[in-house]
Every structure is written in structure tokens, then in C-alpha cells.
A = this chain, B = another copy of it.
Amino acid sequence: MAATIIESARSGEVTEAMKAVASAEGASPEAIRNGISSGTIVIPHSSVSRRSRLCGIGAGLGVKVNANIGSSRDSESAEVEMQKMAVAVGAGADAVMDLSTGPRWREILHGISEACPVPLGTVPVYQVFGEILEAGCGVGEIGPQEMLDAVEAHCACGVDFLTLHCGVTGHALSILKSQGRKLGIVSRGGALLAEWMSVRKAENPLYERFDDLIDILRRYDATFSLGDGLRPGCLADASDGAQIEELITLGCLQRRALEAGVQVMIEGPGHVPLDQIEQNIRMQKRLCNGAPFYVLGPLVTDIAPGYDHITSAIGGAIAAWHGADFICYVTPAEHLRLPGVEDVRIGTIAARIAAHAADVARGRPGSRERDDRMAEARAALDWEKQFDLAIDPCTARAERAKCLPGEGDVCSMCGKLCAIRTSRRALGEA
């Protein structure tokens, strides 16, 4: 069997992927190799996928952004999902997850996997449970082997990283039940597995058969994204016993996969008040042996449906500043409906703002350079340069055009009172 990237790293080999990531990050190939070997960096890249834009995720690297796309039974179009993928990548997403659950999910996933230039992730249990529920059956009718087969099918399709809720154990669920929650289990995968365990009166097969999962992912050199099936769905449930119990389990599983030569990321919350974000990151890094942390949000308030790209940009910026490595975007459609193409674009931009602000705050070499060039373009009143440097040039250009100044290179806010012009005169720079 071919060596996985971790095995290559451990044997001292610097692969092409490591070189590409080192070059993109301005890091030494050796640093990347060390990070992969120790599990603090991952490069999600299946041995059967072709991706033109690989990325490294983890310690010492720039913060990366994932965009979720995917159809549902209520809105299913392969073309629209392809558009979403293109828009996400165009807006700067470093990775994409296809969460399609509609009847044509296979066709959509294959199409996306063929076309996607960046690492692609999925959540294999969605479809296996989705199909049984659509057929009017209960989740208990799925067998453990069918779940593993679904994982294998996704791997065979070229998926680079797979969200697997292996930490939803009977013990974690007993803690959740005994402590109570306002909002139960809000992870779809986590809830489905919990129901399966309840109906079958059995342990989570993704936990019990974790070694089988390792074997499957190892064959494709796919990356585990160990899912936070018990993540908090509201501020009140944040950082509770069930969440942390699951994290402890994920840390143990991470070590096993790493030893077996399979890359691992850990997924994290969710809905978390501002003042609990830093501790969540520190705890994950401690409990999960420094593995890359992939956060969904966190959303810092529950009351802003329609604006959760903003609530999550706030939380994501703070999380990434304190060490989260990979931010899953949240769109304005969150909590309300399936996102459309424009939601995908806005969500990607908002997450990239959070990621960049965190890179700057971390003092990542070179990160502030673009801000500095923007400041210089503003000082020069060079609008074209400002648009070029903007995170979204089209929007910046279009917004300015909505109300242009009557004269000069100022803006319609200030006109003759332009602070830049006045400042030049005041400071003798005119």
C-alpha cells in the first residue's frame, strides 16, 4: 500500500504537496513536514483526488476558510451547487464541503469532486440516514457496515476530508441527558447517530469501529475531520459537560489515527459567548494534542438570524486569533433556509475577514502587508488601487459608484472636507 502523507513525513520525505504548502505559506518545507509528522498540520488531499489549490491547515500557518455548499430535497440543482462551489472558490474559500442531501446527492457530489480545485469535504452519514428516512423507515434499520460503506463510497469519490462524529459516545450522551440542555443536539450527524444508538441500544459504530474507519481513510490518504456532534446550539449550552466529554474522546481518537498514519482535524463549536471562546480553543489544543482546530463560527449571540455571517465573523476572528486554524463560514441564511449562491459569496467574504484579522493579530509575517498597502492607496486617494487590494473588489467598486462625488478624487461623504486632502495640507505633505 502507498505511504500516506504522514508516513512520508515520518520517513523524512518532503512531498510535492508539502513543498506547495511551504511555498504558499512562506514556510520551510521542513517545518511543514514536521507539522504533518506530529499532527499539528494537515494537508487534506485524497490519493484519488486531483486538486489544483492545496492548502495546509494548522499550527504556524495562515487561517483557512471552508464554505459549505450542498442541495437539499427542497432545493436541488446540480448546476446551482456547481455555481456555489465556483463562487466560494472565487471569493477565496480554501476548502469546500458538499453537504448535499437531496435525492441526487451522488450525481452532485461526483460533479463537484471532479471540478473542485480546493480540498473537498463531506459528511457521509447524512446521505445514508437521509435515504432511509426518505424511504419512510427509521434510522435503526441502517447497519454499522452500511455506515462504513458510505464512508468508503465518499472516499472512493475523491473526498479529501470527512466529518465523522466518532465522539458521540453513550457516555457523552448520558452526560448530556443528566445535565440537560436548552437545545439538545444541533448537529445533524450527531443527532442521527444519537437516535440510532437510542433505537439500537448500542454504542456509536463510528466510535466502536474506529479502527475500521482508520483503515478506510488510510487507503485513500483521506483526512479525518472528527465532528463535534454534541456542539452547543445556543449560548446557554456552550462549554458544557457533554461538549467537553466529546472533545476528550476526540483527543484519544486523534492520537490513534495519527499513530496509524492518518491525518486528523478536530471540529469545534458552535454557539459560544465571546468570553468563553479563548478557553474553548486552549482546551481543544490541550485535549487534542495540538491537532488543527476547525470551528463552525462560533456564533456569539443567538438572536441574529439573517445576520449570522456577522455573529460568526466576530466569534471566528477571536477563535482564530487564539489558535483556531480553520474557520467554517456561516451564511446569512443560517437557521432559516438552505443558502443560495449570493449567501455563499457573502459568507465566504465574512469568514475571510475574520481569518485575515486573526492572521494580523497573531503577528503572522506578511499578513498586515495588504492592510498597509491599502492604507497607502487611501493616503494617495488611489481608488483603483484600493479596489484591487479590497477583499471583494467588485463590491467595493460598485458601492462607491452608487454615489460618486461631484468633483475630484474624494468621496461623496466628505467632498471638500476630505480628511486625506486636509491632512496633507496640515502636515505640509500637499
Chain A residues in the interface with B (C-beta under 8 A): 72-75, 101, 126, 129-130, 133-134, 139, 173, 176-177, 182-188, 190-192, 194-195, 197-198, 233-237, 273-275, 300-307, 309-311, 313-314, 317-318, 321, 332-333, 335-340, 349-350, 353-354, 356-358, 360-363, 368, 370-372, 374-376, 378-379, 386, 389-392, 395-396, 398-400, 402-406, 411-420, 422-429
10 contacts between A and B (CB under 8 A): A72-B413, A176-B427, A186-B423, A192-B422, A300-B361, A306-B396, A314-B354, A333-B402, A337-B412, A338-B413
A90 CA to B182 CA, complexed, in Å: 31
Name A236's contact: one of B235, B313, B372, B423 (CB within 8 Å): B372
Contact between B419 and A187 (Cβ–Cβ < 8 Å)?
A: yes
Asked if B371 contacts A426 (CB within 8 A), the reply is: no
With a cutoff of 8 Å between Cβ atoms, the chain B residues found around residue A376 in the complex are 182
Q: In the complex, what distance in Å separates the CA atom of A325 from the CA atom of B173? A: 41
**Are B235 and A371 within 8 A (Cβ)?**
yes
Known: A72-B412, A304-B391. A375 touches B191 (CB 8 A): no
If the complex has contacts A188-B419, A304-B391, A337-B403, are A233 and B129 also in contact, measured as CB distance less than 8 A?
no
Task: Say how many copies of this protein the assembly contains.
Answer: 2
Q: Which residues does chain B contribute within 8 Å of A379, judged by CB atoms?
A: 182-184
Given contacts A353-B304, A402-B340, A403-B337, contact A426 B183 (CB under 8 A): no
Docked Cα-Cα span, A132 to B399, in Å, equals 30
- In the assembly, what is the distance between CA of A274 and CA of B413, in Å? 27
Once the chains are docked, how many angstroms separate the CA of A371 from the CA of B299? 11
Check A75–B403 contact: CB distance below 8 A. yes
Query: In the complex, what residue of chain B is closest to A317 when comparing beta carbons?
Result: B314
**Residues in chain B near residue A350, CB distance under 8 A:** 307, 310
Bound complex: CA A304 to CA B309 (Å): 15
A194 to B195, CA, bound (A): 68
Minimum CB–CB distance from A386 to chain B (whole Å) comes to: 6
**For A233, what are the chain B residues with a Cβ–Cβ distance below 8 Å?**
375, 378, 419
